[in-house]
Amino acid sequence: MSKKRESGFGRQLISQMFAAMFFTAVAFLALAVLVWWTGNNHAWQGWELNYELFRWIKDNFLLVGACGLLAVWFLVGWWFLRRALKSTETLLQAAKQLADPGEEPIRLPAALKAAEDELNLAREQALRSAYVAREAEQRKNDLIVYLAHDLKTPLTSVVGYLTLLQEEPDLSPEMRGRYTDVALDKALRLEDLINEFFEITRFNLSAIELEKERVDVSRMLEQMMWEFKPLMADKGLEWQAQLPPKVMLTCDAGKMERVLDNIIRNAISYSEPGSPLLLTLAQQPGKVIIRLENRGRTIPPEVLSRLFERFYRADSARATRSGGAGLGLAIAKEIVTRHGGQISAESYDNRVIFTVEMPAS
């Protein structure tokens, strides 16, 4: 479709040129026949100058006709060539506008309507790309500001409590233990935030490469459920699982664990205390489906549509407390997509459901 539109003006110009050459040839031939007929039916006087000219043309009719026709065709071709060059210059000037596109649409002559549409389409795409890039850069800058502030807060606490321990040698063992616990907790929080910075760097500067192998997904999920039990116990959460045995999948095991880790941590962070996490595994023709459902605040549609964007945090305050930098779900989507699968989220009635579909191979 695009190629036809691009070449339409060229085909139209060539068609017009050949049509003009054909009609000028017909007109020239008609003129020659008229001159021939007029000359033969005119009563010439020997002394008339036109008679000598007519006789010379009659004697060299083929040569004169060929030269005349070529001259006419040359003028027609020259006119169309100038028209094509002028149109090319117009297109080049319009194309220069794409280097720094503005809000005003590109305007071209009516004969270049197809080219005008293509250039305006490219202009709109360039504007959209520039807007998306600026928005992503702004989100990244905002995230760095958030994380820089978050780094300062636990670091100040660590320094403060360690200073108290140093300056107050007579503290009771209970108070010393409490200060030590707080300092350790803040230090671990600081470590999480530093890891977030490394995560941003890895996600931006390196491509995700897969090392696929045959994996028992049932066993992988059972192991991850067991690993997350201590974290879930802090919020009174419990597992409700439906995992059929020996569901096999060809994937990068480490990367797949990362996907599951991200969505499970997200579900735990935003679950209502004391609620269950429902984890199901199903095998259908051509695909394996992993589904995780938790009870929590319903996510609005406008937030749900951006949940897998890089650096997007649906709730900045809660994400800060949980250590999220808006990369976990984006990385999960990248990994699943590289495997040829898809990941999606839906939310209704204070429930949030993540679904991962992987091709069974």
pLDDT digits (tens, 9 = 90+) for 71-95: 877 887 777 777 766 766 776 666 6
Domain of 299?
213-359
Residue 41 lies in a domain: yes
Chain Cα centroid distance, residue 224: 33
Q: Which neighbouring-strand residues pair with 357?
A: 289, 342
Q: 57 vs 232, which has greater pLDDT?
A: 232
Domain boundary, last residue among 44, 72, 100: 100
The CA distance from 260 to 331, in Å, is 11
Mean model confidence pLDDT for the chain: 77
Which CATH number is 184's domain given? 1.10.287.130
pLDDT score recorded for residue 5: 45
pLDDT score recorded for residue 61: 66
The mean-pLDDT minimum among 153-167, 187-201, 307-321 falls in: 307-321
Q: What is the pLDDT of residues 289-322, one digit of tens each?
A: 999 999 999 988 888 888 887 666 555 444 444 4
The mean-pLDDT minimum among 3-17, 23-37, 175-189, 277-291 falls in: 3-17
> Model-level pTM?
0.51
Q: Are residues 231 and 200 in the same domain?
A: no
Q: Are residues 335 and 218 in the same domain?
A: yes
Residue 180 lies in a domain: yes
- Segment 254-261 shows an average pLDDT of 87
Residue 227 lies in a domain: yes
pLDDT score recorded for residue 205: 47
Nearest to 308 by CA among 287, 290, 289, 333: 333
Q: What is the pLDDT of residues 43-66, one digit of tens each?
A: 555 555 566 666 666 666 677 677
Residue 133 lies in a domain: no
- Please report where in the chains the tokens 């060299």 appear, as a residue: 60
Residue 333 lies in a domain: yes
pLDDT score recorded for residue 81: 74
Q: Are residues 229 and 324 in the same domain?
A: yes
Which amino acid is present at 197? F
Q: Are residues 180 and 251 in the same domain?
A: no
Q: Are residues 84 and 13 in the same domain?
A: yes
- Segment 143-167 shows an average pLDDT of 76
Q: Is pLDDT above 90 for 250?
A: yes
**Do 309 and 327 touch, CB atoms closer than 8 A?**
no
pLDDT cut 90: percent of the chain above it:
21
The CA distance from 173 to 162, in Å, is 15
pLDDT score recorded for residue 318: 41
Residue 315 lies in a domain: yes
Q: Which neighbouring-strand residues pair with 352?
A: 294, 347
Residue 187 lies in a domain: yes
Domain boundary, last residue among 189, 205, 221: 205
Residue 304 lies in a domain: yes
Number of domains in the chain: 3
Residue 196, judged by CB atoms within 10 A of its CB (0-12, 13-18, 19+), counts as buried
Q: Are residues 219 and 348 in the same domain?
A: yes
Tokens of 253: 């095991």
pLDDT score recorded for residue 171: 80
Q: Are residues 290 and 316 in the same domain?
A: yes
Domain boundary, last residue among 44, 73, 100: 100
Q: Are residues 59 and 93 in the same domain?
A: yes
Q: Are residues 218 and 352 in the same domain?
A: yes
- Segment 184-207 shows an average pLDDT of 69
pLDDT score recorded for residue 230: 82
The CA distance from 216 to 256, in Å, is 11
The CA distance from 358 to 259, in Å, is 12
Q: Is pLDDT above 90 for 327?
A: no
Q: Are residues 198 and 279 in the same domain?
A: no
Helix axes 2-40, 49-59, angle to 10 degrees: 120
The mean-pLDDT minimum among 15-19, 178-182, 266-270 falls in: 15-19
Which CATH number is 327's domain given? 3.30.565.10
Q: 352 vs 137, which has greater pLDDT?
A: 352
Q: Are residues 196 and 217 in the same domain?
A: no
The CA distance from 349 to 296, in Å, is 9
Q: Are residues 233 and 315 in the same domain?
A: yes
290-314 CB burial, b ≥16 within 10 A, e <16: bebbbbbeebeeeebeebbbbbbbb
